[in-house]
Structure 1
Amino acid sequence: MEKLERSLLEPVGEVNFRSSKWSWDSVLKKIQLKVESFFLIKGYLLLIVGFLLGRALILSTLAPFSLPFFAAVFLIKRDRSPLVLVGLVAGAATVSLKNAAFTFLVSILFLVIYRISERWIKNEMRMIPLLVAIILGAGKLAEAFIISRQLTLYDAMMVGVQASLSFILTLIFLQSIPLLILNKRRQLLKTEEIVCLIIMLASIMTGTIGWKIYDLSLEHIMSRYLVLVFSFIAGATVGSTVGVVTGLIFSLASVSSFYHMSLLAFSGVLGGLLKEGKKIGVAIGLFIATLLIGMYGQEGGSGSLTTTLLESAAAIVLFLLTPQLFTSKLAKYIPGTPEYTSEQQKYMRKMRDVTAQRVAQFSSVFHALSNSFSQMETKPIDKEDEREMDYFMSHVTEKTCNTCFKKEQCWAKNFNTTYGYLEEIIHEMDQNDGAVSPKLSREWDKHCTRSKRVYEAVGQELTFYQANQKLKKQVQESRRLVADQLLGVSEVMDNFAKEIQRERENHHKQEEQILESIQAFGVQVEHVEIYSLESGNVDIEMSVPFCNGHGECEKLIAPMLSDILGEQIIVTSEECAAYPNGFCHVVFQSSKAYTVETGMAHAAMDGGFVSGDSYSTMELGLGKFAIAISDGMGNGERAHYESKETLQLLQKILQSGIDEKVAIKSVNSILSLRTTDEIFATLDLAMIDLQNASAKFLKIGSTPSFIKRGNKVIKIQASNLPIGILEEFEVDVVSEQLKAGDLLIMMSDGIFEGPKHVENYDLWMKRKIQELQTDDPQEISDLILEEVIRSRDNLIGDDMTIAVAKIKHNTPKWASIPVTRMKKRA
């Protein structure tokens, strides 16, 4: 309805304008398609190019363009070679009939030799240029001998020049012809292809030498137009290159055009330097170059200044009439242009999206697998239980009832009663370790004449039944664990796909502001790249001149960035230059709101060297810090191996980004399936978020932990079985909000249960923690370990490990330096 109202309220003139614009665009598109079909698909562009190249001469006598062009077209687009031959011969005929006959004969000779040697040519791209050089050299040699009946040194030099030029031109045409005839080209041009294209365009324009329009030379107009286009698109470097190459080819074709090389090269430089002024700026550059070089040419007798200025004016008019669509499309293929960079970014963005899509597809596959494993557990099992009970009873009756004389009486006439008694017997024997209640036993004895044999048969079958049920339970637990693991992998891959799609933001304005602010302070900075300005996740890279180890980045630049961005910035990576004139590459990032200072103390049983306890501190990325203690079952090397392996597996899984609960279940599965020995390991894990100091505690068969906050002691505990036991395994997570100044104390059972003659370990440990007179983590860990050992008469009865962590505000090492403020986000 809203769309209908908008259409009714829309002005009629605007509707007509839009429809007329749409029809005009469709007409232009149709015209463009017809033009492309006529020139590119049907090949008439090659006919025109062939005609101009047939007219092109070098030093007024050499014609090295015709056969290389014909051979290149014959190799690349063979069906258009007859059309090209017609254009070459027609163009040569406008110069002289001798040139036309020579062009036709060398082309036919090339076809004959190629057909004869085709079966022996393995690499056509290498052999064709050599074959063309030999044919044109031989042709020029024969022509010189026929005309003068003798060969001079000059003739030999001309033969060598023509053969060399034809060899090079064939290579150039093989590179540049596809750029003219492939209208659906998607690849970006290489530098060699651009140079080849310029040489080919300049060669084509030499065919216009001698053509005049109102006394204005057409080749001068077109060459300057070519320089204007490339200067406008690619700047001074490419513009001057185009001018030099074009002027050089023109000067070889006509000595009178030699001074034009200086004009074109200078025009390319000035036009490229003034390209910021758009088309007008480039045109002004050509006009200034024409005025300066034109006066030089007038003094040298190379033509009037007025004519030169008019030729430049004509080139400028053509340039101004050139549509923006053409220049933008051409700029996409030239390295260094914004359009080229944009195309590169589109390609990289496309590759990034494809990669992210593939990762997301893998994520969905793992998610689907996880769902399939989860659904297998939720399927109704009532019918399956009934079927198993039927099989159970059938096995029992095969051993007892099949040979009984009362079989017909029990199972045919009293089926429900017999089935019910037998079902009750099975359930009671299953629940009571093979015993049956006296009441049920009396009733069954009255009903069955072989009651004792039935009890024996049920007991035998029950053993297999219970083993089968236990195996099914283990399989279900394994399925549940696999489902959780697959779901964790799916979430990690999904997050990875989202990270891939987060492209680097453009912060050019902020980069300039930071650069100006720091340089205005007197600190020299070469280059700034901002990857993120998100609060708490700032990421900036800089190139700084060699500082000779004075620490300018940490002492000056980071404090200034802290003031500019309004948050604490630190140096996270620094690669110093190896020599005085080099640059140091530095990475600045946001510092975390909190830091953790840790202290560890441990002792092996009986003062040995190998402890069954292992401990670890881990940086998990995303601002998380983890402390873990694992106690292997028993003592010695085997226990040490179990606890160490537990922590190593846990660290690798957590660093991959998988949730901590799934990580612990995965470690449990790996350790339990790896060995049949009853060797288990406890795990005490604390994960601290350094941005907000929130903590998660996961205790798997471990002793309690304690948090000391002033004079208050908080106990953290959870009840979970040790890792490695194949039972139903659920992880309880205890969350706690920590504060700056809190002390987190974690310990193994050797410390917690170590004090001798103590009945309540909790109260003893809380009292010892409250009595502490220091807040240094290392001192606390040493003191508690020493206190426990002293309480046992200086004997170490078990492996002992204690870890103490202190939560602190992240105070900056250097104060921020006030500079001119900038807005964090524009």
Structure 2
Amino acid sequence: MIEKGMLKKGALDPIGDYVWRKAKNKSDQVKQTFLKGMETLFIRWGALIFILGVLLGRAVLLSELFPFALPFFAVVYAWQKEKSVLAAAGVIVGTFSGAILHGAFILLALLLFVLSYEWLSRKKWLPYAWVVPFTVFFATISARLAVIWLEEGTISSYSGTMSGIEAGISVILTMIFLQSIPLLMTNKRKKPLKNEEIICLIILLASVMTGAIGWVIYGLQAEHMLARYLVLVFAYAGGALLGASAGVIAGLVLSLATVANLYQMSLLAFAGLLGGLLKDGKKFGVSVGLLIGTALIALYGDGLNGASLPFMESLVAIGLFILTPKSVFLYIEKYIPGTFEYANEQQKQMKKMRDITAQKVEQFSQLFQALSKSFAFQTEEREKEREEEEVDEILSKITEKTCQTCFRKEKCWVNLFDDTYDQMAQMLDEIETRGKLSTRMRNRWKAHCHYDQQMIKMMKEELREAEARSMIVKHAQESRKLVAAQLDGVSKVMDDFVKEIHREKEAHFWQEEQIHDALSEAGLHIGHIDIYRLEEGNVEIEMSVLADIGREQAEKIIAPMLSDILKEHIIVLKEEPYEDRKEYTLITFSSAKTYQVDIGTTAVAKGGGWISGDSHAAVDIGKGKFAVAISDGMGSGEKAHEESSAALYILKTILASGMDEEMAIRSVNSILSLRSTEEMFSTLDLAMIDLQDASGKFIKIGSTPSFIKRGDKVIQIEANNLPFGMMEHAEVDVVNEQLKDGDLLVMMSDGIFDIQSAIENVEIWMKRMIGQMDTNDPQEMADRLLERVLRMSEGTIDDDMTIMTAKITRNLPEWKAIPVRPSISLRKKAQ
């Protein structure tokens, strides 16, 4: 049964919902058409320029100076010459509607500006930026002095001084209008507006309002209502600071126009400040701010008797303010730094740039993926075709050299084609697999072919050549496979990068506020907090704390409190100096890895030299993985060191990019095998340790065994692979081993196993020595092992020796989590 009220808002009324949506779409279309028409009328056709010209043509300062009209026309003439006629028409109309006596001055000033501007532009005597201000000054003072001389027959000191002041103000206004007029007359505005541009825009609008001086509506002065409306708009859009600035500027311009308006500066500034402070109350709060400011100033002046007129002017301004569409304020806020709409606009721009970047990277990823598939497909297809064509090609070359000149050719290849072909194919197979023909096959072929010995000899020669060609083709195919695999690896890395790009910095305003309040209640002084990630195991929080106690306070108090709030172990990742304020330091907090790796290394060069052919590295490659590696270049000395260090450097770079370990190994091998024609090989012993679950991957390329000491037990890890650069295609065997808390990994170069001693099996001896060591300190273990090896070899060092040890320990907090009261759960709120 349908209850009453269920049909509201089209809940069960599809026809009504369709009509409502259609009406709404039609309303939106009408609105867009109207806005587009207004933009065409005011901006493209120049109606706004004409209106501004009329008002600025009427604007006056100190009741006798007209410094607004010429700067406005000059800026329009220099900026958009095709619209300067509208500007001139507006200025002239405004002048003759409000100040007919100054019409001659305006006309002469316009004429002098055009002539002097065109002349200076052609001569190029002045920098371009100074041409407009200079010509405005020249045209203003020349026209004013000329009009005074024609009217009075002489120029007094007062007249000359006022003319100079008028020309100087005109130059200042020209500089202001150069920054502000383009903001009103183009739909391609800069983002964001500078503070100077905002102030210049307010000065322009305030100057325009002075053109309304003298317009009275039912006893209410138009310039007062427009000034208060301007203050309301900027207070609502930009807050207290911008509202107060608009009030001061509007009041100053009005007071300069008419001394009677001097009190307006205090009223407008105070109203703008109050309105901005009450901005959270929306339009009502800003309006209340204006009314309070009006009341205080009115009562301070003439008391209750003179308060009615200012109140009525304020009410009219509030009425216009309330009727102003919300879209106007949103449009203004987009260009004012610090506003919510501006932040949204900037976020949209950043998201757009991220999306474009991600799209480009994704396109490259798809390109590499397509190339990889193309290489792999071509390789597989080519292998099948080669297997099918190889026999035919060999037989064709053999018959070309033997059967073409034989008198029995027609009998063998026409009458007995199948029998001849099958026997030759069987002979090829036997020679290829056994190296010779069986007696049975030889006798059978002798009965079939007249030149059997010559044919067999030719078969062996062609098979040798085919085998050489096959090796070349095989190498090429292996190279194609490697290229395909590398392209596929690069594609996967780029896909991961695209995913990282799409992970935008989320807004965590609520969580930042909660953390700030919790730390402040604990008596900590925190500057700012920025949360970048809150995912479990991947937290990143940045905050500024006082520099003198920053690191200690962060590790002992803030990190334990964050650990309680986030319910996971949080540590201090890094500390950096704060850019703007030296009394603060910037601390970054992050999730602690479940396990940590401590490294110990020791090494000696062959014969006690300075340069070892061995290279080693231990590095956190990101994404929760830690790499420990030893590379041994062939021989010893500088050349071997260059080879081994190059192998490790390339490997670290590729692993850090996110490529798979096996593909990274193959890529390094390919690069090293192509670097030089010299026989320079390198071994590699690589251990990849996952810091979250302590799983280990061990890859050994021509290297010696490694050992894991787990209490009294020693586990040996070994694999058989050729050294780097020995073959173009490296077969990589990966040994997986689950490590545990307290395990000690021991890796070493082959120089350790090549010692000259009476030991028959060095591997067993080394395994026993590691098990007998009564230390779990990685550095002490490495030092003591090398000492034992040197003693056993009686101090002789016949090869470079390197030992690396890595201890895997569970990452336990140094400080216990500090409970936060009241208890808060940030992740629950974030979800």
Look up the equivalent residue of 1:200 and give its one-letter code: L
Alpha-carbon displacement from aligned partner over 1:339-365 (angstroms, at most 9, x marks no partner)? 112211211111121112111211111
Q: Distance in 1 between matches of 2:440 and 2:602?
A: 63
Q: Of residues 235, 260, 265 in structure 1, which corresponds to 2:264?
A: 260
- 1:470 deviation in Å? 0.6
Q: Distance in 2 between matches of 1:823 and 1:774?
A: 43
CA contact (8 A) 1:524 1:544 kept: yes
Q: Distance in 2 between matches of 1:748 and 1:627?
A: 13
For the pair 1:145 / 2:149, whether they are aligned, the reply is: yes
- 1:668 deviation in Å? 0.8
Match of 2:626 in 1: 625
Match of 1:508 in 2: 509
CA contact (8 A) 2:120 2:131 kept: no
CA contact (8 A) 2:493 2:659 kept: yes
For the pair 1:229 / 2:230, whether they are aligned, the reply is: no
DSSP 3-state at the match of 1:811? coil
DSSP 3-state at the match of 1:379? helix
CA contact (8 A) 1:680 1:723 kept: yes
Match of 1:290 in 2: 294
- 1:133 deviation in Å? 2.5
- 1:385 deviation in Å? 4.1
Match of 1:739 in 2: 740
Q: Of residues 369, 372, 382 in structure 1, which corresponds to 2:371?
A: 369
Q: Distance in 2 between matches of 1:53 and 1:577?
A: 48
> How many corresponding residue pairs?
818
Q: Of residues 69, 75, 92 in structure 2, which corresponds to 1:66?
A: 69
- 1:176 deviation in Å? 2.7
DSSP 3-state at the match of 1:98? helix
Q: Distance in 2 between matches of 1:485 and 1:298?
A: 86
Alpha-carbon displacement from aligned partner over 1:60-79 (angstroms, at most 9, x marks no partner)? 22222223323333343444
DSSP 3-state at the match of 2:572? strand
CA contact (8 A) 1:57 1:206 kept: yes
DSSP 3-state at the match of 1:477? helix
CA contact (8 A) 2:274 2:289 kept: yes
CA contact (8 A) 1:474 1:726 kept: no
Q: Distance in 2 between matches of 1:11 and 1:418?
A: 83
For the pair 1:163 / 2:167, whether they are aligned, the reply is: yes
Q: Distance in 2 between matches of 1:377 and 1:415?
A: 33
Q: Distance in 1 between matches of 2:521 and 2:599?
A: 41
Q: Distance in 1 between matches of 2:173 and 2:164?
A: 14
1:667-816, aligned counterparts within 5 Å?
667-726=668-727, 728-751=729-752, 764-788=765-789, 798-816=799-817
For the pair 1:447 / 2:448, whether they are aligned, the reply is: yes
- 1:781 deviation in Å? 3.5
Q: Distance in 2 between matches of 1:802 and 1:30?
A: 78
Structure 2 CA distance for partners of 1:14 and 1:353, relative to 1, 3 Å? closer
Q: Of residues 387, 397, 402 in structure 2, which corresponds to 1:400?
A: 402
Q: Of residues 8, 15, 36 in structure 1, which corresponds to 2:39?
A: 36
Match of 1:203 in 2: 207
CA contact (8 A) 1:548 1:580 kept: no
Greater Cα shift, 513-522 or 211-220: 513-522
Look up the equivalent residue of 1:418 and give its one-letter code: T
- 1:403 deviation in Å? 3.6
CA contact (8 A) 1:755 1:789 kept: no
Q: Distance in 2 between matches of 1:413 and 1:552?
A: 99
DSSP 3-state at the match of 2:775? coil
CA contact (8 A) 2:365 2:491 kept: yes
For the pair 1:436 / 2:440, whether they are aligned, the reply is: no
Structure 2 CA distance for partners of 1:372 and 1:248, relative to 1, 3 Å? same
Q: Distance in 2 between matches of 1:681 and 1:83?
A: 80
Q: Distance in 2 between matches of 1:12 and 1:226?
A: 45
Q: Distance in 2 between matches of 1:130 and 1:636?
A: 74
Q: Of residues 338, 341, 351 in structure 2, which corresponds to 1:339?
A: 341
CA contact (8 A) 1:294 1:308 kept: yes
Look up the equivalent residue of 1:281 and give its one-letter code: G
Match of 2:521 in 1: 520
1:596-611, aligned counterparts within 5 Å?
596-605=597-606, 610-611=611-612
- 1:784 deviation in Å? 4.1
Structure 2 CA distance for partners of 1:623 and 1:144, relative to 1, 3 Å? same
Look up the equivalent residue of 1:156 and give its one-letter code: G
Q: Of residues 352, 355, 358 in structure 1, which corresponds to 2:354?
A: 352
DSSP 3-state at the match of 1:616? strand
- 1:174 deviation in Å? 3.4
Match of 1:3 in 2: none
CA contact (8 A) 1:90 1:100 kept: no
Alpha-carbon displacement from aligned partner over 1:86-106 (angstroms, at most 9, x marks no partner)? 332222222344333443444
Alpha-carbon displacement from aligned partner over 1:203-226 (angstroms, at most 9, x marks no partner)? 111111111111111111111111
For the pair 1:245 / 2:249, whether they are aligned, the reply is: yes
Q: Distance in 2 between matches of 1:616 and 1:87?
A: 77
CA contact (8 A) 2:117 2:131 kept: no
- 1:228 deviation in Å? 1.3
Structure 2 CA distance for partners of 1:695 and 1:12, relative to 1, 3 Å? same
- 1:523 deviation in Å? 2.5
Look up the equivalent residue of 2:472 and give its one-letter code: L
- 1:17 deviation in Å? 4.4
Q: Distance in 2 between matches of 1:795 and 1:767?
A: 22
- 1:394 deviation in Å? 3.7
For the pair 1:177 / 2:175, whether they are aligned, the reply is: no
CA contact (8 A) 2:618 2:628 kept: yes
Greater Cα shift, 802-811 or 617-626: 802-811
CA contact (8 A) 1:85 1:104 kept: no
Greater Cα shift, 262-271 or 117-126: 117-126
Q: Of residues 427, 432, 438 in structure 1, which corresponds to 2:429?
A: 427
CA contact (8 A) 1:755 1:788 kept: no
Match of 2:820 in 1: 819
Q: Distance in 2 between matches of 1:232 and 1:208?
A: 23
Structure 2 CA distance for partners of 1:816 and 1:138, relative to 1, 3 Å? same
Instruction: State, as a whole percentage, how many aligned pairs show the same letter.
Output: 49
DSSP 3-state at the match of 2:628? strand
- 1:659 deviation in Å? 0.9
For the pair 1:83 / 2:86, whether they are aligned, the reply is: yes
Alpha-carbon displacement from aligned partner over 1:620-642 (angstroms, at most 9, x marks no partner)? 11221111222334455544443
Alignment RMSD (CA, Å): 3.1
What TM-score does the superposition give when structure 1 sets the normalisation length? 0.91
Structure 2 CA distance for partners of 1:759 and 1:109, relative to 1, 3 Å? closer
- 1:785 deviation in Å? 4.1
- 1:481 deviation in Å? 1.0
Q: Distance in 1 between matches of 2:128 and 2:806?
A: 74
DSSP 3-state at the match of 1:547? helix
CA contact (8 A) 1:602 1:802 kept: yes
Structure 2 CA distance for partners of 1:514 and 1:442, relative to 1, 3 Å? same
- 1:601 deviation in Å? 4.1
CA contact (8 A) 1:54 1:66 kept: yes
For the pair 1:130 / 2:131, whether they are aligned, the reply is: no
Q: Distance in 2 between matches of 1:55 and 1:129?
A: 21
CA contact (8 A) 1:236 1:268 kept: yes
Q: Distance in 1 between matches of 2:527 and 2:183?
A: 40
DSSP 3-state at the match of 2:57? helix
Q: Distance in 1 between matches of 2:724 and 2:554?
A: 47
For structure 1, the 5+ residue unaligned runs are 1-5
Match of 1:590 in 2: 591
Alpha-carbon displacement from aligned partner over 1:695-730 (angstroms, at most 9, x marks no partner)? 111122333333333344433333323222226533
- 1:549 deviation in Å? 7.7
Look up the equivalent residue of 2:309 and give its one-letter code: T
- 1:473 deviation in Å? 0.7
Q: Distance in 1 between matches of 2:430 and 2:59?
A: 109
DSSP 3-state at the match of 1:463? helix
For the pair 1:663 / 2:668, whether they are aligned, the reply is: no
Greater Cα shift, 71-80 or 204-213: 71-80
CA contact (8 A) 2:95 2:102 kept: yes
Look up the equivalent residue of 1:824 and give its one-letter code: L
